[in-house]
Copies of this chain bind each other. A is one copy, B any other.
Amino acid sequence: MSKISVAVLGATGMIGQRFIQMLEDHPWFEIEGLYASERSNGKRLGDVLKVRDHEYLDDTMDRRIETMDIAKISKNCRIAFSGIPSDLAGPTETELAQAGVAVFTNAGSHRMDAHVPIIIPEVNPAQMASIRDQPTYSETGGYIVTNANCSSTGIAAPLHAINQAFGLKQVFVSTYQALSGAGYPGVPSLDAVGNVVPFISHEEEKMETELAKMLGTYEDGEFRYAGFKVMANCARVPVVDGHLESLVLDMEQQPTLDELSACLTGFRGEPQRLGLPSAPKQPIIVRTEDNRPQPVFDAMAGRPARARGMAVTIGRLRQSNGYYKAFAMSHNTLRGGAGGSVLNAELAKATGIL
């Protein structure tokens, strides 16, 4: 089988480089185009990264990609992975879809569009059907699939597993989000060192709507939101990679903690059933230690090697006043960023949409 030709948009940014990392030696996809902002046109990726202050992935890049030229965006590839900043991504992604490209994007621009799904393959693979209602799909075969916001992603699979098993009524979530979530240069160091910033623009609103959209359904051409409520408080902490999130859950049923733990540990989704290349064998890992999950230990959870950073880790399961409490941890630029979209494209391929 020859590989499917893919392009990376925003290739010089933090998410773009994570796309490149996830796509190196990918069994199904092969990078054929690198796109970035205009001032990088015609330059080799390796040279552009060399003059930046922050080659985030430095060492991991293979020679072939390092020497590729950054080009004007072409519409010849079958797939475009988009790491373009959300405020710029919208029109470019639309044009590509109109030209017949399948766009898998980390940008938030289209997440709330009528027939554009926010997909986490373990959670809502069926919502992928919505792309058939995007006008471009019938015209050119192009479409847009988004991955969720990084904080929403970090708890979506556990919430989905719990919702299915025990019914979810309310979610109280506070985030301890990593600096890499703001890109580069992102957060000034004087705001980060020895400090916490209790504000991330639009993050709480995203969490309060995206989760309900994802855990809902797509029926009769419309997204029906799930009925539970989310109350989110979001803050930035001086951690490089990996979002930690505290949870208080209000459930319909009252399982024991052992039942809850078994539900999470045993959860498997479409990616696991289909054996998608970037799918972690166990998508939700439950830690039983007193003091886990922690960013330094658990951000990169996930096996096999290709799925490093793609599992979600849950710990400190407790009960209090009829509620359930826990901490969740996930990698914000892998599972919650580029890795999410790569997995979405793998799902599309495995289910014949690509």
Contacts and interface: CB of A to CB of B under 8 A. Distances in A.
A316 B233 CA distance: 10
A59 B297 CA distance: 8
A204 B319 CA distance: 11
A155 to B, nearest CB: 13
B184 A190 contact: yes
Interface in A185-216: 185-199, 204, 208
A233 B174 CA distance: 9
Copies in the complex: 4
B193 A238 contact: yes
A169 to B, nearest CB: 11
A201 to B, nearest CB: 8
A291 B172 contact: no
Contacts of A233: 174, 246-248, 316, 325, 327
Interface stretch (A50-58, A83-91, A131-139, A341-349): A50-58
A55 B190 CA distance: 11
A234 to B, nearest CB: 9
A300 B59 CA distance: 9
Nearest to A290: B199
Contacts of A238: 189, 193-194, 237-238
A194 B193 contact: yes
Contacts of A232: 320
A315 interface: yes
Contacts of A325: 204, 231, 233
A235 interface: yes
A319 to B, nearest CB: 10
Contacts of A208: 320-321
Which residue, A59, A174, A176, A291, has most C-beta atoms of chain B within 10 A? A174
B193 A184 contact: no
A257 to B, nearest CB: 15
Nearest to A326: B233
A290 to B, nearest CB: 5
Contacts of A145: none
B196 A176 contact: yes
Nearest to A189: B192
Interface string A237-270: 1111000101110000000000000000000000
A321 B228 CA distance: 10
B194 A192 contact: no
A186 B188 contact: yes
B316 A194 contact: no
Contacts of A54: 188, 190-191
A175 to B, nearest CB: 9
Contacts of A297: 55, 58-59
- Report the 7 A-B pairs with minimum CB-CB distance, sorted nearest first: A174-B174, A189-B192, A185-B188, A233-B246, A199-B291, A198-B327, A174-B246
5 contacts: A187-B189, A194-B239, A198-B291, A198-B316, A233-B247
Interface of A: 50, 53-56, 58-59, 172, 174, 176, 179-180, 184-199, 204, 208, 229-233, 235, 237-240, 244, 246-248, 289-297, 300-301, 315-316, 318, 320-321, 323, 325, 327
